[in-house]
Amino acid sequence: MKKIGFFAIILFATLIAFLQTKAQTANLSDSDFEIETFASGLSVPWSMDFFPDGRMIFTERTGAVKLRESSGAIQTIGQVTSLYSGSETGVMGLAVDPDFGSNNYIYIQYTRTTGNRISRFIFNGTSLTNETVILDNIPAASNHDGGRLAFGPDGKLYSTTGDAVNAASAQNTNSLAGKILRLNKDGSIPGDNPFGNLVWTYGHRNPQGIAWNPSNGSFYAAEHGNNSNDELNLAVKGNNYGWPDIECNESDPNIKQPIRCFSEFTLAPSGIAVYQGDIYMAGLRGKQIRRVVVDNNNNLVMDQALFQNFGRLRGIVAHDGWLYFSTSNKDGRGTPASNDDRIFRIRLKSASLTPPISTLKGDLNRDGIVNSLDWSIMNSKWFTSDSAADLNSDGIVNSLDFSIMNGNWLKSGLGSSHVTLKEGQREGPFILQKIYADYVTGLNYPEYPVAVNQGYPVTLKIGETASNGCTITLTLASIQGDTATFAKIMDLNRPCPICLAEDTLIDTPFGSVRVKNLQTGMSVWTAGKEGDRVLGSVIKTSKVQVSPSHQMARLILDDGRELLVSPGHPTSDGRTVGDLRPGDLYDGALVASVERVSYDDGATYDILPSGNTGFYWANGILLGSTLHIKH
């Protein structure tokens, strides 16, 4: 009887899937992106980073350090000397200090015949000066030198090193070769490193890409394998990644398995970046950007090739809503075009922005709810080893995986909006009374009663006013007592902007910086509980596109301070800017006026600073933050 019942479920689910529209896929194409040439006529650009004012700084492997001005002009600001440049070596990693506004520090990793080096320079506004070596004598060779450099969200400096063609050294935790290193800014050893030295992870062959997911802190690393077997790894403190004993998916309980092993072709990954929640890898021999989609547990969902017409790709970095990548066609292994090497930047068109990734096993199309569309995908992978549909990771998609999917049937994995049912309304159409927009700010929005039936979507308008709101699509998923749980599907063309105008100036220890140029880790002035200035750092940023004629509030105080901000933005005294009225006392002055105006600049921004209040100064006016950290 159990067997008959199970196959009846299968038949029923298959019939539903057949009657449903074709399941959505997570695939993107090149046409889903805008693309611009950002710089051209370069010589093997290796690493890219950005100053707080938005200008790009980058290295060329042959020794130059260059700056791209906002006008597009490119100038050389430094030349690394005592350099060994040949084969795969040269000037490699580059990182701008998170506190650059107060110290002007730039960090560079480069190769030398006597041992590779990480140095700190001072940028005086026109050139790099005052080289200070913070780490020397990293094992060196003409190949396998790693070379990526980046600051983590913890403020520490991370460096990748190759095995320097001495494979055994990768397993020696007393050697700097074949590792990911973690340093204090002065090159000293952080007290919480796992081996009492600079080693953070070991067992690497030639890692050249590191990046963090800003939404959850996941640390990713990419490395070149031997005869393909390239890897994308989750870099976890103290873990062993196997080289040279284990490669890719070879089984060993003591070895951390990769998220993705590229054994079927050679990608030769160099830089990696996290953009819109997905991982993007620049492929040298693979001549592509590889987009890798993972779930919230960093299990592989899918991966695909993009931008395969630009030759060898090396650097890639996400910044200010764009993804920047560089070609490496002049490195002796490519076929240069007339204007190579180049740096491009791409960004998803608004219609292609992907929704948040579902946290539920079984939500294969990531639309926020486990249903027949997901079963259709699983059915197409039946009795294969597809990693996304193999929910129990036993190597085959079968009834055990369907059982897991069935356990999450009609559950939402994008977080839920809990709403109160109208009194006495327990059957039939349910009345949506209030939605908690936790996906934006955690604020409560006004009530908009709407009748909904289970399984059918309803689109709501929420926000301060009809002209300043946004749309959200909900599907009623379950009822428990007097609370209904809805799956959320945001309309990302019109998200809810409760943010600042992009040119708003934020007070920092090194002067005012436009909010659009602030980055995670940068220093800002925050307010303590007594309203005193306390040095803090940016722990989260937000950028939201707005629709044409979006409504903002222009707040003017009688002492001349002025601010353009969403009416729903919180003040430091528990109100919102839209609550203020002329004559009200706020932040030591009287409100002169608050008026609604159109805002057509395209984007709004906000930051969350560290500290116990979340308050910061915008155009000199004390505000609260709309952002929060979810636990």
Q: Residue 299 to residues 209, 256, 525: CA-CA distances in angstroms?
A: 19, 13, 38
Q: In which residue are the tokens 């590792």 written?
A: 179
Measured between alpha carbons, how far is 441 from 500 in angstroms, rounded to an integer?
14
Read off φ and ψ for residue 8, nearest 5 degrees.
-65, -40
Q: In which residue are the tokens 């259709």 written?
A: 376
Contact partners, residue 571, CB within 8 Å, separation at least 6 = 577, 579, 580, 586, 587, 622, 623, 624
Contact partners, residue 227, CB within 8 Å, separation at least 6 = none
Q: Which of 167, 163, 170 lies closest to 147, judged by CA?
A: 163
3-state secondary structure of 241: coil
Contact partners, residue 475, CB within 8 Å, separation at least 6 = 368, 369, 455, 456, 457, 458, 486, 487, 489
Q: What pairing do the DSSP bridges indicate for beta strands 603-609 and 511-514?
A: unpaired
Measured between alpha carbons, how far is 251 from 327 in angstroms, rounded to an integer?
35
Residue 16: half-sphere exposure toward Cβ, Cα within 13 Å: 14
Write the DSSP string, 68-127: E-TTS-EEEEEE--S---STT-SEEEEEE-TTHHHH-EEEEEE--TT-EEEEEEEE-SSS
Measured between alpha carbons, how far is 593 from 555 in angstroms, rounded to an integer?
6
Q: In which residue are the tokens 């300043």 written?
A: 468
Which amino acid belongs to residue 543?
K
Write the DSSP string, 389-423: T-TT-SSS-SHHHHHHHHHTTT-BSS-EEEEEPPT
Q: Which of 247, 265, 264 lies closest to 256, judged by CA?
A: 247
Active site residue 144: yes
Q: Would you say 551 and 628 are in contact if contact means Cβ atoms under 8 Å apart?
A: no
Contact partners, residue 390, CB within 8 Å, separation at least 6 = 381, 396, 397, 401
Beta strands, E only, 179-218? 179-183, 199-202, 207-212
Write the DSSP string, 368-390: SB-SHHHHHHHHHTTTS--TTT-
Beta bridge partners of 473: 459, 489
Q: Which of 545, 43, 50 lies closest to 323, judged by CA?
A: 50
Per annotation, catalytic residue among 144, 204, 550, 569: 144
Widest distance between CA atoms in the chain: 80
| Burial (CB count within 10 angstroms: exposed 0-12, middle 13-18, buried 19+), residue 440 | buried
Strand ordering across the sheet containing 116-123 = 91-96, 105-110, 116-123, 128-138
3-state secondary structure of 466: helix
Measured between alpha carbons, how far is 153 from 157 in angstroms, rounded to an integer?
10
Measured between alpha carbons, how far is 170 from 185 in angstroms, rounded to an integer?
24
Question: Which residues are catalytic, by number?
Answer: 144
